Structure 1
Amino acid sequence: MDTQRSAVRGGGGKRAIQAAIAALALAVFGGYLVLLVGMPTNAYKVTWLPVLRAKTTTTYFGTNQGATFLVFTSPLVLIALLGCVYLHLGKKSEVDNVKSGDGENRLEIWKRPMIIKGLGIVSRIELAFFLMFIALLVWNLATYFHNDFGRITPKSAALDGERVWEAKLDMAALRLGLVGNIALTFLFFPVTRGSSVLQFLGITSEASVKYHIWLGHIVMTFFTAHGLCYVIFWVSTHQLAQMVEWKNTGISNLAGEISLLAGLFLWATTYPRIRRRMFELFFYTHHLYILFVFFFVLHVGISYASIMLPGFFLFIVDRYLRFLQSRRHVRLLSARVLPCNTVELSFSKNKGLNYSPTSIMFVNVPSISKLQWHPFTISSSSSLESDTISVIIKGEGKWTSKLNHLVSSPSPPQRLDVSIEGPYGPASTDFLRHDLLVMVSGGSGVTPFISIIRDLIHTAETLKNQTPQILLITAFKKSTDLTTLDLILPISGAQFPNLNIQIEAYVTREKQQQQPQQEKKSARTVWFKPSPSDAPLAATLGNDSKWLWLGAVIASSFVIYLVSIGILTRYYIYPIDRNSNKIFSSAARGALHAVFICGAVVVAATAGFVWNKERGAKETTQIRNMEGPTPTASPCYEAGREMESLPQQSLAESINVYYGERPDLKRYLFERKESSVGVLVCGPKKLRHQVANICSSGLAENLHFESISFSW
């Protein structure tokens, strides 16, 4: 009893610290937003900025750099560090699954889905923040135009040899670029997969991709307008030679044009039709972001580029850590091959590597493509399967079809080199708070629900906790796709779950069952031969303290960068600038900053990775030496072993199959009278929108919508 009381007090203390950290982060971000709101005003330009620069001017960072680091770069880096500490404490504390109170019910209203053309399915909270962000951009642009256009008169324009409209166009082009940089500041946060900021906000990296898409369109719209306005201005004023100008100091036009062209090529391939039909083109051209950012820095100079630096800096840290993780091949244990052109790949993993249901990981198979990485939903549960991790892959595209053919061929390879990045997913899930979980899927969208069901199996059987009822409504095109449901139980042969589960399966393109049940083709398992070079999948920065390690890497790399660039500026750049006959090139300064940022990240991240790799070497060796069913000779098949087991027979009894029709989702959802019904959907866009419309109709207050679809 005393131990329990101590645990409760300890948990309460951690929650209090978390609340304090969240309040501090909110205050810092609030101050940062005040700065963004005040930036276009005359008060900022005339009063705040000169005082700030006067107090931060040093021989180590120059006239403008110190002020930019202080007010634009440091706040967002600090929030990332606070997020690391918050998540570390949250991992150690217990999560209470309680029923919704009045306050939470009011919050649920804001979480209800809405379908907005061009945005897709968004909650009221997402829509509110999106509109506030648009308002921020409009405020900045309108304030700039109001203040600047008011100072342009026929007399002032004539002094520069321009007409009034030309002077206004020149000023408008400049301000469009400045406002576009605000959107660019946030562009890389949503695609930082291991971001503490996203996890701090309760957003998964996969769910945040839509924010990256929105921001990308906004950024390129502003920058394209910025470039077009300048081209029109130069043509009108007969200054086309400005297009190839690369100044030693100040703005370099040619660098900006190279950056814009790289961005336009990248932008053109992001539209859905091109992205889905020519994914490889989309994938490869997306790496033009390197040229886009590098020449952007050369274009505007490092002082102004530091406004967008924190988001890109955190992205570089995450990208390099992913690179380190992907250098080693992961041990592939087995593949369950289904007759519906689907396979479940199972890999070895360290027991300490935990992840939440609906997590994803990125897979690379060098024998198919050395450069392509594809995301897949994890079908296993780290609670139920402590030393393995699995993904389900359906052969729908070129890459997945090649992989399926390779694994399911009559003579599959003895082993397969596979690299993995991840897993990435929510910090925690709260499915236990519902009385009923209704899972609606179409096709391969059933995959994330398999991971949820497996996690609930562990909760019900091991922890003896009460679990919600489960209603899985799934639609397939052909009857052979029904074999995907056989993957609900893991290959390890878990007992049939002590769950109240009902599966309603619909085969939409067949009027009747194509073959008798007893003749149905069964799954088969391929076991792969191990290699001494393969290793279990492990977290990049350890397991228990990964967030603290990430915070240490971020802080140390940022400090190394600041110290290094300060020394370089003081003892190399400053002496040159002090000489009246020489001025250090802005482009060279920006390139040096880029080199020092990358170097600092490489040093700090490599040190953290190597330290944690050595700590996990003992566990890796133990897992590698474990005896398992993997044969030492060529691969072999075990046909039908899982299908004939009693757990699979019991599972089959809970499945109802309907042919030639689609599920009546309104009937399924509106007939449920439980006080709290969690509605999860994953599948085609039309299906997601249909479920979202039902849940947002307001006709059933007990429906709580959660879209976990991974379609962009």
Structure 2
Amino acid sequence: MMGSEMSRSAVKYLQMGIRWFSVLIFVGYVMIWIIMPTNIFFPHWYPDIKAKVDSIYFGKQGTTILIYTFPVLLIATLASLYLHLKQTGSNDDNHNTESKVRFLRLTSWKRPLLVNGPLGILTMTELSFLVMVIVLLIWSMCFYLHGLFASAAQNAAKEGEQVWEVKLEYLAFALGVVGYLCLALLFFPVTRGSSILRFIGLTSEGSIKYHIWLGHIAMFLFTTHGLGYIMFWAKTHQILEIFKWKTIGVSNVAGAVSLLAGLILWATTLPSIRRKAFELFFYTHYLYIVFIVFFVLHVGFSSFCIVLPGFYLFMIDRYMRFLQSQQQKIRLVSARVLPCEAVELNFSKNLGLCYTPTSIIHINVPSISKLQWHPYTITSCSDTDLDTLSIVIKSSGTWSNTLYQKLSSSPPISHLDISIEGPYGPASTFYSRHELLVLVSGGSGIAPFISIIRSLIFKANTGGGKTPRVLLVCAFKKSIDLSLIDLILPVSATSTTFDTSRLQLQIEAYVTSEKQPDMNDERLTQTLWFKSNALEEPVTAVLGQNSWLYLSVIISASFMLFLLLIAILTRYYIYPIDHNTDLIYPYVSRSSLSMLFICVSIAVVATSAFLWNKKQNKDLEQIKTFYTSNSSTSPRSQYYNADKELESLPPQSLRQTAKIHYGERPDIKKILSGYNISSIGVLVSGPRNMRHEVASICSSSSSTDNLHFESISFSW
């Protein structure tokens, strides 16, 4: 016992050391960006660092790799180790006083400050991030222009140009350099398995807003950068400069191609196009590859190293997603087809796969579209549903409607190939820290709350600590949509393993478009059982139970392999040609080889880790053996190996315990004001207007500080 306590204490101190060391590195990294535009960095500090770092092994890019790339990748590696220790360590301190105080402090940062502005709901965290980025952009722009304009008159006389023309060129140059900051941050929010996001308590799906803001600002800066140079060349009769591809120095043609790809991508992100033509938006987003490749060819790989870390981590994540989706075909066990044109898909799951409530997976159905991937909230709970993983898909678009038609057709389909990526979710949840949870949903927005309720029911049944009271307020257009409440009970639920009475759960359902229940619609929920395929596998994490440890190895090992390849190339091929002068060896060749080495390094290390983990994944083999050996005797053999059946289930569910209101909408303000409790967690998932209404109530001056708001949404 004493040894166990000492071990937990050592792990705790190690986590604390990693956390503070990472914070220290991050502060230093931010200071570099603050000092970079001043007269201190490039005229004084940078030459000294360059003289010590640049060598026959790394050349000019050695300095930028050391200053900009290495610190972030080190933070990512340390964050992965921290999450691994947290995952394997003890959670005994989840409910102590210090932890609760820290939790309440964090929830205050999620409190909505602005609701009805053009940027939607803004919390203190989001507003702080936006303000800091804008301030840093303005700071950088002012210092760059101040330094450049100081020599404008002298350089204009030298070049025989007017002063305003030289200032126009300098302005265009400064806009491009300032855009580096946005590009450096752009790929962090869309790295789904990012250890850095999880380390600071964020998720990729919850950070998409940052990606959108950064993308708009970056494209504005790069567009004005390009237009500024075009205007300068037109005024100085050098318009043909745009068609020049220099072997040494900046390539203007590559910059033009990169900007053109970015503009096409940017245009399709407009809400009017993205919502009405999602497939156009989805497919044109792959132009980011063209944008990045030609951006590297435009500025050179040495300059690109300034923004490399975010893209490097994104590439690792993207390749791991590719391995998971291409190497694993997932076993679909059953599907519940609801009369409200929604389906619940139940997949076989590896027993060792754990995930937190509100986690998501991305699924692909090749028979509908080989390229489209759609995110859905996991409705199952890894504690209660040990060998299944479930999602709910409401028919609301071309893709989801096609899927519903396939599953509800008569005769029903015999098999459905599905690939997945994920699951992805928060590192931990704090729902049980509140005294009361108010879950407000609209339509299919109830899906994220199903996993939360199932998790709390499990906790209440196992005596895992105090559970909060739960009030589920769900609004539906038609009474037939009430069948979504049935999904709170899993297919395999029994009264002994899933006793809902142990949780203080109250359900208030509102049917807004009907004055009374539709007695004519007698459709029942139907369950389809699928026969297993030997080539299909249960859902498993791409890197297994030690995924964070493997990720730290992949990040560090791939980066070291990349440095080794760069060192060999520079020392034995490039250096004998140009001797670090950067005046002989072509930029395009150097940049192309560097990009190739990045791809090779990531592919070799990540593939090795993936295959090694697959070989060591004994749980997966045990599950396969279990399914095979028990196919004829197990009472649940129908669930996995029997021929597919179609059966109708009677409407016995939580719907019978819900209080249903017809012809009215929920009065959220009245509901929340009826509770005099110190801590109320208010979670909302549904249409934009509903989220804004609840956010307004939680942020209003008349509300007390006991309301802790959180929005769950995929619509951006």
- Short-chain TM bin: over 0.9
Verify: 1:521 aligned to 2:517, yes or no. Answer: no
**Residue 354 of structure 1 contacts residue 382 of structure 1 at CA under 8 Å; is this kept in 2?**
yes
Verify: 1:87 aligned to 2:83, yes or no. Answer: yes
Q: Distance in 1 between matches of 2:509 and 2:477?
A: 11
**In the alignment, what sits opposite 1:682?**
685
What one-letter code is carried by the residue in structure 2 that aligns with 1:441?
S
**Residue 346 of structure 1 contacts residue 389 of structure 1 at CA under 8 Å; is this kept in 2?**
yes
* 35-44 vs 9-18, greater mean Cα deviation: 9-18
- Pairing partner for 1:542 from 537, 541, 544: 544
**In the alignment, what sits opposite 2:494?**
494
Pairwise CA distance, 1:464:
4.6
**In the alignment, what sits opposite 2:457?**
457
* 438-447 vs 273-282, greater mean Cα deviation: 273-282
**In the alignment, what sits opposite 1:636?**
645
In structure 1, list runs of 5 or more residues that go unmatched.
none
Q: Distance in 2 between matches of 1:337 and 1:101?
A: 41
**In the alignment, what sits opposite 1:572?**
573
Pairwise CA distance, 1:695:
0.8
**Residue 377 of structure 2 contacts residue 448 of structure 2 at CA under 8 Å; is this kept in 1?**
yes
Pairwise CA distance, 1:93:
2.6
What one-letter code is carried by the residue in structure 2 that aligns with 1:635?
K
Verify: 1:72 aligned to 2:73, yes or no. Answer: no
Verify: 1:705 aligned to 2:705, yes or no. Answer: no
Pairwise CA distance, 1:10:
3.5
What one-letter code is carried by the residue in structure 1 that aligns with 2:508?
E
What does 1:243-262 correspond to in 2, within 5 Å?
Answer: 243-262=242-261
**Residue 627 of structure 2 contacts residue 640 of structure 2 at CA under 8 Å; is this kept in 1?**
no
Pairwise CA distance, 1:337:
0.4
Match of 1:428, SS? coil
Q: Distance in 1 between matches of 2:243 and 2:507?
A: 65
Q: Distance in 2 between matches of 1:359 and 1:216?
A: 25
What one-letter code is carried by the residue in structure 1 that aligns with 2:335?
A
What one-letter code is carried by the residue in structure 1 that aligns with 2:602?
V
Pairwise CA distance, 1:349:
1.1
What does 1:495-510 correspond to in 2, within 5 Å?
Answer: 495=495, 496-497=499-500, 498-510=502-514
Q: Distance in 2 between matches of 1:623 and 1:382?
A: 19
Pairwise CA distance, 1:631:
7.0
**Residue 483 of structure 2 contacts residue 655 of structure 2 at CA under 8 Å; is this kept in 1?**
no
What one-letter code is carried by the residue in structure 1 that aligns with 2:95?
N
In structure 2, relative to structure 1, the CA distance for the partners of 1:7 and 1:661 (3 Å cut) is farther
**Residue 342 of structure 2 contacts residue 404 of structure 2 at CA under 8 Å; is this kept in 1?**
yes
What does 1:169-180 correspond to in 2, within 5 Å?
Answer: 169-180=168-179
Pairwise CA distance, 1:270:
1.0
**In the alignment, what sits opposite 1:612?**
613
Match of 1:42, SS? coil
Pairwise CA distance, 1:615:
1.1
Q: Deviations over 1:304-332 (max 9, x none)?
A: 00001111000000000000000121000
**In the alignment, what sits opposite 1:37?**
34
Q: Distance in 2 between matches of 1:7 and 1:122?
A: 44
Q: Deviations over 1:246-286 (max 9, x none)?
A: 00011000000100011111111112221111110011000
**Residue 350 of structure 1 contacts residue 619 of structure 1 at CA under 8 Å; is this kept in 2?**
no
**In the alignment, what sits opposite 2:446?**
446
What one-letter code is carried by the residue in structure 1 that aligns with 2:125?
I
Q: How many residues align?
A: 698
In structure 2, relative to structure 1, the CA distance for the partners of 1:555 and 1:104 (3 Å cut) is closer
**Residue 339 of structure 2 contacts residue 523 of structure 2 at CA under 8 Å; is this kept in 1?**
yes
Pairwise CA distance, 1:582:
8.2
What one-letter code is carried by the residue in structure 1 that aligns with 2:86?
G
Q: Distance in 1 between matches of 2:47 and 2:571?
A: 22
Q: Distance in 2 between matches of 1:19 and 1:169?
A: 50
Q: Deviations over 1:596-617 (max 9, x none)?
A: 0000000000000000101115
**Residue 682 of structure 2 contacts residue 708 of structure 2 at CA under 8 Å; is this kept in 1?**
yes
**In the alignment, what sits opposite 2:322?**
323
**In the alignment, what sits opposite 1:192?**
191
Verify: 1:17 aligned to 2:14, yes or no. Answer: yes
Pairwise CA distance, 1:98:
4.2
* 110-119 vs 569-578, greater mean Cα deviation: 110-119
Match of 2:666, SS? coil
Pairwise CA distance, 1:134:
1.1
Q: Distance in 1 between matches of 2:647 and 2:507?
A: 27
**In the alignment, what sits opposite 1:47?**
44
Pairwise CA distance, 1:104:
5.6
**In the alignment, what sits opposite 2:299?**
300
Verify: 1:621 aligned to 2:632, yes or no. Answer: no
In structure 2, list runs of 5 or more residues that go unmatched.
632-636
**Residue 536 of structure 1 contacts residue 624 of structure 1 at CA under 8 Å; is this kept in 2?**
no
What one-letter code is carried by the residue in structure 2 that aligns with 1:85?
L
In structure 2, relative to structure 1, the CA distance for the partners of 1:491 and 1:702 (3 Å cut) is same
Verify: 1:554 aligned to 2:555, yes or no. Answer: yes
**Residue 442 of structure 1 contacts residue 684 of structure 1 at CA under 8 Å; is this kept in 2?**
yes
TM-score, scaled to structure 1: 0.95
What one-letter code is carried by the residue in structure 1 that aligns with 2:231?
I
